[in-house]
A and B are shown apart, each in its own frame.
Chain A
Amino acid sequence: MLSYASKRVSVGIVTLLAASIIVFAVLEIVPGDPARLMLGMNATEDAVRTLQEQMGFNQPLISRYFSWLGGLLTGDFGKSYTYSVPVFDLIKERVAVSLPLALISLALSTVIAIPVGLFSASRRGSIADTAAMGAAQIGIAIPNFWFALLLVYVFAVMLRLLPAGGFTGWENGLWPSIKSLILPSIALALPQASILARVTRSSLLDVLGEDYIRTARAKGLSRRRVLYHHALRNALIPVLTILGMQFSFLLAGTIIVENVFYLPGLGRLVFQAITQRDLIVVEGVVILLVATVIIVNLVVDLAYAIVDPRLWSRR
């Protein structure tokens, strides 16, 4: 068991280190000078040079990489070129929006998808199954920014029940904050739930076709008991994989939905930082996301082992 876990962890660390080199190198190759971008079209050459020196761009690449890496290890993500505040504070503010949003969407999608998947699998080929899977197909096909706009027009513009967007900040009250996350999380959850429902269904159907299920049924167990106790548990591994991937996506891959609802999330921070050549912010966020993906995958790997105890004993 320990070797299984420690192997996973060391693979994670190597991945993280490799990612840090790639992220840093790629961003340094991208054309565009942050100093010139900040000072614009009318700037004099000496003003641009002064700013470059102030931001430390005249130091060699390698030494900049190591001072950045050293900073990361001590929790110092550097200072944003454009905002001139610590990158860590920027990320912290954005995570306060993105993390709850991701968790709510994930919870919403799981709560919808697993029962639907179970239901469809247990009534395979029925009208209800066809209807549910048809709905899931539509859910995958609808672009989420369009669905988001639809939600805004119905609930904000027509009914005026919820805000059209924006985020008031947690310090201004729990309810207003939750309220501004409701529509975005629905918009994000719909396609995720659709995918998850389909995966749950097909994974369950695979398992239900296995010999040991027939044996269990032959032994005299009820359909229900076989479904919940024998099939579901074994069908969960692919579902967990998808869930892990969805969480990573929801944390930062939601730029479009964040734009529609003008939420100050991580996705928009990265996007803005890229266009403004705020490279240190991009590097910080990307490395944090890589770390998150690695950790989530680690948790998923360990969760496999809980679902399937055979993994503990293997090697």
Chain B
Amino acid sequence: MNIWKSFLIGTAIALLPATTSFAAKTDLVLGIVLEPPHLDPTAGAAAAIDEIVYANIFEGLTRIGPKGDVLPALSESWILSDDGKVYTFKLHKDVKFHDGTGFDAEDVKFSLDRARGDKSTNAQKGLFAAIDTVETVDSLTVKVTLKQPSGDFLYNMAWGDAVIVAPESADTNKDKPIGTGPFKLENWEKGSQIVIAKNPDYWGTPAKLEKATFRIIPDPAAATAALLAGDVQAFPVFPSYETIAQFQTDPRFKVVIGTTEGETVLGMNNKKPPFDNVNVRQAIAHAIDRKTVIDGAMFGFGAPIGSFFPPHHPAYFDLTAETTYDPELAKKLLAEAGHPNGFKTTLKLPPPTYARRGGEIIAAELREIGIDAEIIPVEWAQWLDQVFKNKDYDMTIVSHTEPNDLNIFARDDYYFNYDSATFKELIKQIEATSDGPKRTELYQQAQKLLAADEPAAFLFQLPKTGIWDAKIEGLWENGPIQANDLTAVKWID
């Protein structure tokens, strides 16, 4: 009997591929450049964590949609009190964590209190700063009271760092992430790949893919080869700009160039002479030809920006004309600032290609107006230590990839050393204003102020260079947050 049984099972397995090949494929291999250090989005800043888990494994009260809008997630609806200080969230019922434990208001309270508590190692602890208290009204209702009204609160709760975790699994999420999402972790072969599989008990619209594999491919040439050989079928953020043209002419692939939240800037140390002089900062901005930088460093991918705001945002105001490429004007401004013959300075560059290649081009352009910038390449750890923490730098290039981060210029002791009472006041007003035309107006005022003060030279918005098999549908075009939301991804035939 046993033999018969195994014979039958064997035959069934042998026939399986033949029968399933008629249906659309339900598995997908995606390439990612960086391996996440771990899979707990509440305990690390690495974008690579969210690229795996956001919307797939973990969910928050709210979530960000493909267009950057705030959508309901674990909370099906919410009511804001008239004074703008109390949010009452109504939660979805019958939601279960991947380990089978139930989800309710207690988990929400636990997660928010944990993220803002004394022992918190949340990389975005600031997101929770506005919260005064979190109370459970009943098992499916949570009341969050804020210290002051916050126009950004629902957006903040949609970050990967604000996902809801269970007290039973919070401490082990780094290695065994337990969320409420439509996928669960199947296995993680460190250094090689991370496999997630469909969660059959998902509370919402089930995923269309049965299985998705994130394969870690750091080398740009290897990424190209892996796509061409069919080893991976999608590269949501393709790292090799120079080979994109090759895929654009290949009908097997779809090339989708979108935008991200990454404002790439030439940061300057605003308290250190000569950068404490606004004319010097303006001169530098006018000495840089954004098009040359984008063509040279990014192979033409990336949208020029004139202030610190993403072009896809409804409140975006195009200010690139304020700092056009004009070396003569730049020289004049330098002379007015007392540096007719330029000066010597340094430019510290972190590892990404946009910084290293862009830095070489910018250094060459600055030489045209007499500024001799010595290029100093640094690793990320050194960059964070020297530039970001100790502000031991003159100029640097970095992309600020966090969404909704205009307020960094209002922070005390931030690495730009920019200190403007007017700008701080604007940010305060923005934070206290809920959506609407008033907020747009304030956003635009802030953008204009930055373009005038030029605490950094604004270069370009980092592109999202996606390449995938032409038969795949549902991957995001833009990157309003750094995520690979696979919930709607499917193969079409």
Q: Which residues of A contact B (CB under 8 A)?
A: 31-34, 36-44, 46-47, 50-51, 54, 82-85, 90, 93-94, 149, 152-153, 156-157, 160, 163-167, 169, 259-265, 268-269, 272, 275-278
Q: Is the CB of B192 within 8 A of A149?
A: no
A269–B218 CA distance with the chains assembled, in angstroms? 12
Contact of B110 with A by CB under 8 A: no
Q: Is the CB of A156 within 8 A of B229?
A: yes
Contacts of A84 in B (CB 8 A): 38, 174-175
Contacts of A32 in B (CB 8 A): 379-382, 384-385
A261–B217 CA distance with the chains assembled, in angstroms? 8
Q: Assuming A165-B225, A262-B222, is B381 touching A93 (CB within 8 A)?
A: no
**Which of B121, B192, B218, B221 touches A50 (beta carbons < 8 Å)?**
B121
**Chain A proximity of B47: nearest CB distance (Å):** 9
**Which of A54, A263, A264 touches B190 (beta carbons < 8 Å)?**
A264
Q: Is the CB of B381 within 8 A of A37?
A: yes
Contacts of A42 in B (CB 8 A): 45, 123-124, 126, 402, 405
Q: Is the CB of A262 within 8 A of B121?
A: no
**Which of A90, A169, A277 touches B192 (beta carbons < 8 Å)?**
A169
Query: Can you offer 28 A-B residue contacts whose CB atoms are under 8 A?
Result: A33-B385, A36-B384, A36-B385, A37-B381, A40-B384, A41-B45, A43-B123, A47-B120, A47-B122, A50-B121, A54-B121, A82-B38, A152-B225, A153-B225, A156-B229, A160-B229, A163-B229, A163-B231, A164-B229, A166-B217, A166-B231, A260-B221, A262-B215, A262-B222, A264-B192, A265-B191, A268-B218, A275-B351
**Which of B45, B190, B222, B351 touches A40 (beta carbons < 8 Å)?**
B45
The 0/1 profile, CB within 8 Å of A marked 1, for residues 211-230 of chain B is 00001111101100110111
Contacts of A269 in B (CB 8 A): 191
Q: Is the CB of B189 within 8 A of A43?
A: no
Contacts of B174 in A (CB 8 A): 83-84
Contacts of B191 in A (CB 8 A): 93-94, 264-265, 268-269, 272
A150–B400 CA distance with the chains assembled, in angstroms? 37
Please give me the residue from chain A that is nearest to B45 by CB atom: A40
> Most chain-A CB neighbours within 10 Å: which of B122, B229, B400?
B229
Contact of B386 with A by CB under 8 A: yes
Contacts of A268 in B (CB 8 A): 191, 218
A164–B225 CA distance with the chains assembled, in angstroms? 6
A268–B192 CA distance with the chains assembled, in angstroms? 10
Q: Which residues of B contact A (CB under 8 A)?
A: 35, 37-38, 44-46, 118-126, 174-175, 189-193, 215-219, 221-222, 225-226, 228-231, 351, 379-382, 384-386, 388-389, 400, 402, 405
Please give me the residue from chain A that is nearest to B384 by CB atom: A36
**Which of B123, B228, B386 touches A31 (beta carbons < 8 Å)?**
B386
Q: Is the CB of B121 within 8 A of A47?
A: yes
Contacts of B386 in A (CB 8 A): 31
Please give me the residue from chain A that is nearest to B228 by CB atom: A157
Closest 3 A/B residue pairs (Cβ): A40-B45, A32-B381, A264-B191
Please give me the residue from chain B that is nearest to A264 by CB atom: B191
> Most chain-B CB neighbours within 10 Å: which of A39, A82, A84, A264?
A39
**Chain A proximity of B491: nearest CB distance (Å):** 20
**Chain A proximity of B75: nearest CB distance (Å):** 24
Q: Is the CB of A262 within 8 A of B216?
A: yes
Contacts of A278 in B (CB 8 A): 37
A264–B190 CA distance with the chains assembled, in angstroms? 7
Q: Is the CB of B217 within 8 A of A41?
A: no
Q: Is the CB of A260 within 8 A of B222?
A: yes
Q: Assuming A32-B382, A38-B46, A43-B45, is B122 touching A262 (CB within 8 A)?
A: no
A51–B230 CA distance with the chains assembled, in angstroms? 41
A156–B225 CA distance with the chains assembled, in angstroms? 8
Q: Is the CB of B192 within 8 A of A165?
A: no
Please give me the residue from chain B that is nearest to A85 by CB atom: B175
Please give me the residue from chain B that is nearest to A277 by CB atom: B381
Contacts of A275 in B (CB 8 A): 351, 379-381
Q: Is the CB of A83 within 8 A of B190?
A: yes
A235–B440 CA distance with the chains assembled, in angstroms? 81
Q: Is the CB of B385 within 8 A of A262?
A: no
Contacts of B230 in A (CB 8 A): 160
Q: Is the CB of A39 within 8 A of B222?
A: no
A284–B380 CA distance with the chains assembled, in angstroms? 22
Please give me the residue from chain B that is nearest to A37 by CB atom: B381
**Which of A38, A163, A262, A263 touches B44 (beta carbons < 8 Å)?**
A38
A43–B193 CA distance with the chains assembled, in angstroms? 28
Please give me the residue from chain A that is nearest to B121 by CB atom: A51
Please give me the residue from chain A that is nearest to B414 by CB atom: A41
**Chain B proximity of A278: nearest CB distance (Å):** 8
**Chain A proximity of B31: nearest CB distance (Å):** 9
**Chain B proximity of A140: nearest CB distance (Å):** 22
Contacts of B388 in A (CB 8 A): 36, 41
Contacts of B119 in A (CB 8 A): 50
**Which of B44, B351, B381, B402 touches A33 (beta carbons < 8 Å)?**
B381
Q: Assuming A156-B225, A264-B192, is B380 touching A37 (CB within 8 A)?
A: yes
